[in-house]
Amino acid sequence: MVESHFTVKYKVMVYGVFGLSTLLSFMLFFISSPDIVEPEPWNNLHSILIFLCAAVSLGIGCLLLFKMETIRIKSECIIFQKHVYASNIKEVPFKNYDYYKTIYEESENGEFEAVWLIKDEKMAKSFSSFQYSNFKELKEALNLKNRGQLHLSPMKQFLCKCGAKI
């Protein structure tokens, strides 16, 4: 069984974004809050907008944190376990995927190799060398047919991640 390990730069980025969004939401919520002297301080439009901005910034900061997952690859299945909610475990047999392809995904930090697990000509799951430090071990442990390199534009990659066919 091969278990994934997060890269340091990925963990720093995720926890940094979460920390900054938490700080921003608290600053918006507490520093800009209405005067306590008012009998109903949260009934005017200004206060409601401040609360919504604080909630949205905290929600955006949590997105990456909730998306982090640990991958365990066994000989007959892949196990995905959420990092934050460790009880959220999803065990997927290899027969649920048709094959996998590798692709180079671009980001502001450069290009990173990724594996796309494909089912019915759509990307079902993916993992990349940006997220996991033992990416090569994970890729070698897959008990699926490798159909080679996939060459797509960044826009087409985004569309495929949203559910479009490859």
**CA 68-61-128 angle, 5° bins:** 30
Q: Is the pLDDT of residue 116 over 70?
A: yes
Show the CA angle centred on residue 40, arms to residues 39 and 42, nearest 5°: 145
Query: How high is the pLDDT of residue 34?
Result: 58
pLDDT at 127: 93
pTM of the model: 0.79
Q: How many C-beta atoms lie closer than 10 Å to residue 154's C-beta?
A: 10
Q: Average pLDDT of 129-156?
A: 92
Report yes or no: 68 and 6 within 8 Å, Cβ to Cβ.
yes
- 43-93 pLDDT, tens digit per residue, is 777 778 888 888 899 999 999 899 899 999 998 999 999 988 888 899 999
